[in-house]
A and B are shown apart, each in its own frame.
Chain A
Amino acid sequence: MQRLISRLALASATAGGVVLVALIVMTCASIVGRALIDFGLGPVTGDFELVEAGIAFSVFAFLPLCQLRAGHATVDVFTSALPDGANRVLLAVWECVAALALALIAWRLGAGLVQKVGNGETTFLLQFPVWWAYAACSVPATVAVIVAAWSAADRVRAVFTGHDTRPIGGESVH
């Protein structure tokens, strides 16, 4: 199970990374096109819109890995004095809250998707429907919920068994 979740998070982050690299290359191509406008080339139409939609997808796609590797910024100077057991409980509580929050985000993103399909909103230059971007983001948003749910369950299990699959100390690099 842990390997499956880990692969899912890595696959999601890889997809986000590929999109990020594609956006960088596209932006550079757009600059070259704009510079060579006298030679019949031109900037990529709607490059702003592509960057916005693409970055949103990448960020959603990066969330599962961050969740799995406990990459979120925390303040642990006050809790580091507590025993391991207390820290396990705190971790479990916050991971459960995180899973609920991500589920809420994914659910409302879906509602937003329905709304954007309904009102037929399109972007200004490229005229592509905004709901395409919402639909694309829903996939990694769902993955984030799955990974966060597993992560929370794993931390809750650790509270009872005292056996951790991931470090509980705060010394990990944020």
Chain B
Amino acid sequence: MSAVEIGLWSFPVLLLIIFLRAPIGLAMLVCGIGGMWMVTGSPNIVLAKLKTETYSTFSSYSLSIVPIFLLMGYLAGIGGMSRALFKAAEAFLGHYRGGTAMAAVGACAGFGAICGSSLATAATMAQVALPELRRAGYAGGLSTATLAAGGTLGILIPPSVILVVYATLTEQNIAKLFLAAFIPGILAAIGYVLVIALYVRIYPHSAGRQPRMGYAERWQSLLAVWPVILVFIAVVGGIYTGIFTPTEGASVGALGTGVIAWASGELTWAKLWQALMSTAVATAMIFFIVLGAAFFNAFLALTQVPQLISTFVIEQGYGPWLVLTIILVMYLLLGCVMDSLSMILLTIPIFFPMMSGLDFGMSQEHMAIWFGILVLIVVEVGLITPPVGLNLFVINAMDRTTPIRETYKAVMFFVATDLVRVAILAAFPAITLFLLT
């Protein structure tokens, strides 16, 4: 077999073993090592590479931000900030029909500003909001779907772990990607609120109403969320203005969040340890996939398959917009079965060179940022699409009284707004890019 043939065969083999339940990072690692062995004809090169590759992958300065953001998110879950955010959002929105669910979306958006992970946002906010939604008489399906969808704001609104990985893969500026994600994130929150307004008009019995609160009470509740605002401004503002490197910004955020949690009196040694152990498992999972992807992509580069695919697509003369549409649809389909980080690490090395070769009428850097945001949104849709939406599972595990079928039904409304938003952002790149110019 020629190197190109080995490279092309590696895709079905990799997918097959992933679908046979091999851990994704392990599958990529094994295919990468095996493939390199086959292409070079001896194990020596891959064994030599293994001497330093694992250490240098794990000691990446740009990825060091990942465990720090994860810890920050878990600490934020302890400090009562999630409750303060929910109470503040409810004070402003609770008296509308569906207002408590809208408040949950608002609180998710606020929590997303200090947490870089969807699952952590969904799980933390569900703890606070699910009982309140129940008390206010909301239908189970609407409640769980709202929180699952709201959880995706954790990753759309900066900071975002997925964007850090994308920035590392494509050698883009993390600060600019964070800034570009901001407006699409806000649009997502607005879209979810509109969906709830629509849903409660179609199914009037699915929601209740809370008494209207006076403005004094509203401002009072808003005061309680100042720590969240402070941390967000320090982290994202500090990184963007260049006062901090991203790792420094994340460290300030993690320490600040820890101090706030400690000041609230809720941070015990046991809880700190729990947060560290959750960080440990999530970090190891992410870095193991990154390691596997490093080997798989080094192998693919050796076979030159990524360049060949990209040249092939460009030579066919397909329009850039058609290629973009096909890529986004592929992410949506893959997202039904695979988690977002694995998808990005698996596909960006193929898709990104392809995108770079096409002319979208914008600079290379703008294309990279805009494409990154679009990919971020479509892979996040995967978190809430049945049958394998991880957010749906997390929320469902916390609310055993709601059958998952009802969650599936209600969440399709949220998926619909996601698709509309992707179409709008793809058609009008300026919405994503204008903050950068």
User: Residues of A with Cβ closer than 8 Å to B?
Assistant: 10, 13-14, 16-17, 20-21, 23-25, 27-28, 30-31, 48, 51-53, 55-56, 58-63, 65-67, 69, 71-79, 87, 90-91, 94, 97-98, 101, 104-105, 108-109, 111-112, 115, 133-134, 137, 170-171, 173-174
A73 and B292 alpha carbons, distance in the complex (Å): 12
**Interface CB pairs A-B, < 8 A, 14:** A14-B277, A30-B248, A31-B252, A58-B67, A59-B284, A62-B67, A62-B287, A66-B280, A73-B23, A74-B21, A75-B21, A79-B21, A87-B21, A111-B47
B247 located at the interface, meaning its Cβ lies under 8 Å from any Cβ of chain A in the complex: yes
Chain B residues within 8 Å of chain A by Cβ, number: 60
Whether the pair B59, A20 counts as a contact (CB closer than 8 A) is no
Q: Is the interface of B mostly helix, strand, loop or mixed?
A: helix
Whether the pair B252, A73 counts as a contact (CB closer than 8 A) is no
Given pairs A17-B277, A73-B289, 7 additional interface contacts (CB within 8 A): A17-B279, A24-B68, A24-B255, A52-B59, A55-B58, A75-B18, A108-B47
B26 located at the interface, meaning its Cβ lies under 8 Å from any Cβ of chain A in the complex: yes
| Contacts A51-B247, A65-B281; A28 near B255 (Cβ below 8 A) | yes
B19 located at the interface, meaning its Cβ lies under 8 Å from any Cβ of chain A in the complex: yes
Q: Which residues of A are found within 8 Å of B289, using beta-carbon distances?
A: 73
B276 contacts which of A20, A53, A60 (Cβ < 8 Å)?
A20
Of B184-192, B333-341, B406-414, the segment with at least 4 beta carbons within 8 Å of chain A is B333-341
A73 contacts which of B25, B244, B247, B254 (Cβ < 8 Å)?
B25
> B138 CB to closest chain A CB, in angstroms?
24
Name which residue of chain B comes closest to A64, CB basis.
B284
B55 located at the interface, meaning its Cβ lies under 8 Å from any Cβ of chain A in the complex: yes
B30 located at the interface, meaning its Cβ lies under 8 Å from any Cβ of chain A in the complex: yes
Name which residue of chain B comes closest to A76, CB basis.
B21
B202 located at the interface, meaning its Cβ lies under 8 Å from any Cβ of chain A in the complex: no
Name which residue of chain B comes closest to A12, CB basis.
B280
Name which residue of chain B comes closest to A138, CB basis.
B55
Interface string of B6-23 (1 = CB under 8 A from A): 000000000000111111
Q: Which residues of A are found within 8 Å of B298, using beta-carbon distances?
A: none
Kindly identify, within residues 105 to 138 of chain B, every residue whose CB is under 8 Å from any CB belonging to chain A. Answer: 119, 123
Q: Which residues of B are found within 8 Å of A61, using beta-carbon distances?
A: 280
Of B312-320, B347-355, B390-398, B428-436, the segment with at least 4 beta carbons within 8 Å of chain A is B390-398
Q: Which residues of A are found within 8 Å of B282, using beta-carbon distances?
A: 71
A137 and B14 alpha carbons, distance in the complex (Å): 29
Whether the pair A173, B22 counts as a contact (CB closer than 8 A) is no
Name which residue of chain A comes closest to B72, CB basis.
A24
B417 located at the interface, meaning its Cβ lies under 8 Å from any Cβ of chain A in the complex: no
> A110 CB to closest chain B CB, in angstroms?
9
